[in-house]
Structure 1
Amino acid sequence: MLNLKSVLKYLFLFCMGIGILYLAFKDQNLGQIWAEIKNANFLWVALSAISVWIAHVLRALRWRMLFHSINYNVTFWNTYHAVIIGYLANLALPRFGEIGRCSVMLKSEKVPMFASIGTVITERLFDMFMLLLSALLMLIFQYDLVSDFLFNSIYVNIAAKIHSINYLWSIVLIVLILCIILAAIYFIRKALNKKFLRIYVGLKQGFNSYSNLQNKSLFITYTLGIWVFYFSSMYLAFSAIQATSGLGLNVGFTALVFSSFAMVAPVQGGLGVFHWMVAQALVLYAVPFKDGLAYATILHSSQFLLTIILGCLSLLLVFSKRIKTNHI
């Protein structure tokens, strides 16, 4: 059960996403944006959504490999349903999907919760590596374009904020943070009893899942495949509307990196942040911001709808299987 503090936190994050969405659209011609969306070629939107679905399948196959490496012979379909249900949970509560999919594996495959969490952290580290590698390649091959955006939109704003900070309050804040960290370390060490030892053992087992893999090259292939199909989704969606139909592979790659950083934000489904970041990525290539918003809205909406449909279907199948098992 969520307590009041958690509810308020997630409500705040949702409102923040709505706020960013409002700021992105407030000075735009909504009629023109809606006209572009309404006249979109939805065949390309469907192909884009299929690419995302294939990436989800590859993610399930990759995750299953980690379970097998620590001697849990889980089935593909239970792993797949857990992944999809996790994405569905993320639409309601950011980052809750990781716990949600581990809970599904606990119920369907009897995999201990913290062993599952260890495998999730392991695969997320590979995803983060791929994101940072993609960002580095973007900077190397498109430095002139991206560096201008980073300087004007990010560095200048951060520098202005830093100059406006009262340094006395900064010192007080740093000291307070250090005190909180020291207190946390003290209480964690004090609370290290048998329960925490079991948690540690479970997490360690999950962390060791990659090192125990017999076919690491296949795991890497799945990881690359996931990102290739994410890129494919971005690129195929360009053909959905006239304003983006002529954009090249390099633009798709930049949009992928920007959108991936947007999805890291602790906001339900990247709401608002995704739209702003993708539109900003396209502005670098002389695409008007309103057209970028139309493209981002089509892409985000198609993925949102895909997650709702697949997530509800997976939930239905998992629950129906549990009901049948309980009646046997």
Structure 2
Amino acid sequence: MKKKLSKIIQIVLPLALGLFLIWYTYNKFSPDQLKQLKENFLKADYLYIWISMLFGALSHFSRAYRWNYLLEPMGYRARLPNSFMAVSIGYLLNFAIPRSGEVSRALVINKYDKVPFEKAFGTIVAERIADLFISVCILFAALFLQFDTLWGLMDTHNINPEKLAVFGAAGIIMVLLFWIYLKRTRSALGQKIRNFINGLKEGMLSILSMKKKWAFIAHTIFIWTMYVLMFYICIFAFPETQTITFSQTLSLFVVGSFTIAFTNGGFGTYPFLIAEAILLYGVDYTVGTSFGWIVWLSQTSVIVFLGIISFLVLPLYNKSN
């Protein structure tokens, strides 16, 4: 019962927060501002939005292709269509329960290409480690280029970096204590967990034994280049945002990435924080809100479209299985 309640809370709480922020944001607008919001949506140059969506789809494809580089050292290979559909379904499911998409990816590839779940999941964790490295590099680049802006945004929303550091350190200590417990325990459950972790470890270490390291690195850079470009190209959709520089765009990208990472795909929070951040660059709040919504909706449309198509096509493509 407690487990079921926890899952419900994981789904409902982020969605409730998103709905509250949508209500809170639009409750502040006057009728004239709401009219301006509508006009902003109508006057946007949607050619740039379509290009942004193409970049998003290309990043999905590259991520699916890159996955096989991690599976091959363990003697497995997933068919590219299955990898692509597993990735697309994973992104879609992350909207319901954050981080559930990684589990679904491993389940799909286990069912249709017979890759053991724990090893497939381990390769996904290895992917995330590589992605984390690139995202940290982007974060430091944004901090270096736009430190005052990002610090000001954190201060505006009472985000204390010291508290974040304390929580991070506490989390690391808890993980270490749990690992020590697993090393020493002789219980059946402990052994099962150890075996599962060993499978994860093999999948994660495949990044070190792969033959095509440079191809993996190239795909990783390509994926994150597409992520940045799919955001940056949208800057040109509005005349008011075209003056924003690339370094400023990088800081906005970081803000948006945090909302996506810690909520249900940034629902409600993404447009709200992007509007707050872009305001620091002299862009009107209503324009910033419109920009945030258009960027989020375009990215979400790609995820939802590819995810639903993959749900429908996956069993048909694997009908023989």
Bin the TM-score by the shorter chain: 0.7 to 0.9
1:236 and 2:233 aligned:
yes
Structure 1, unpaired ranges of 5+:
162-174
1: CA distance between counterparts of 2:177 and 2:214? Answer: 41
Secondary structure (helix, strand or coil) at the match of 1:142 reads: helix
1:124 and 2:142 aligned:
no
Shift of 1:225: 0.9
Give the match for residue 22 of structure 1: 23
Shift of 1:212: 0.9
1: CA distance between counterparts of 2:209 and 2:126? Answer: 12
Give the match for residue 302 of structure 1: 298
Secondary structure (helix, strand or coil) at the match of 1:3 reads: helix
- Which range is displaced more, 232-241 or 13-22? 13-22
Question: Could you list the per-position Cα deviations for residues 112-166 of structure 1 after superposition, in whole angstroms to 9, with x for gaps in the alignment?
Answer: 11111111111111212212111111111223333333344335x789x9xxxxx
Question: Could you list the per-position Cα deviations for residues 45-103 of structure 1 after superposition, in whole angstroms to 9, with x for gaps in the alignment?
Answer: 11111111111111112222111122212121111111001011112222111111111
2:89–2:307: 8 Å Cα contact kept in structure 1? yes
Q: 1:75-94 counterparts in 2 under 5 A? A: 75-94=79-98
2: CA distance between counterparts of 1:18 and 1:288? Answer: 23
Counterpart residue type for residue 153 of structure 1: H
1:146–1:284: 8 Å Cα contact kept in structure 2? no
Structure 2, unpaired ranges of 5+:
164-169
Shift of 1:18: 1.7
Give the match for residue 276 of structure 1: 272
- Cα separation, partners in 2 of 1:154 and 1:134, compared to 1, 3 Å: farther
Shift of 1:181: 9.6
Number of equivalent positions: 308
Query: Out of 250, 253, 256, which is 2:250 matched to?
Result: 253
Shift of 1:182: 6.8
Counterpart residue type for residue 217 of structure 1: W
Question: Could you list the per-position Cα deviations for residues 165-184 of structure 1 after superposition, in whole angstroms to 9, with x for gaps in the alignment?
Answer: xxxxxxxxxx9xx9999799
Q: 1:147-296 counterparts in 2 under 5 A? A: 147-155=151-159, 189=185, 190-265=187-262, 267-296=263-292
- Cα separation, partners in 2 of 1:187 and 1:70, compared to 1, 3 Å: closer
Give the match for residue 42 of structure 1: 46
Counterpart residue type for residue 300 of structure 1: W
Counterpart residue type for residue 25 of structure 2: A
Give the match for residue 8 of structure 1: 9
2: CA distance between counterparts of 1:264 and 1:154? Answer: 19
Give the match for residue 114 of structure 1: 118
Secondary structure (helix, strand or coil) at the match of 1:6 reads: helix
Counterpart residue type for residue 313 of structure 2: L
4+ residue runs over 4 A deviation: 178-188, 191-194
2: CA distance between counterparts of 1:44 and 1:289? Answer: 21
The TM-score normalised by the length of structure 1 is: 0.85
Secondary structure (helix, strand or coil) at the match of 1:221 reads: helix
1:81–1:318: 8 Å Cα contact kept in structure 2? yes
Shift of 1:233: 0.7
Shift of 1:21: 2.8
- Cα separation, partners in 2 of 1:191 and 1:18, compared to 1, 3 Å: farther
Percent of residue pairs bearing the same amino acid type: 28
1:70–1:212: 8 Å Cα contact kept in structure 2? no
1:59 and 2:75 aligned:
no
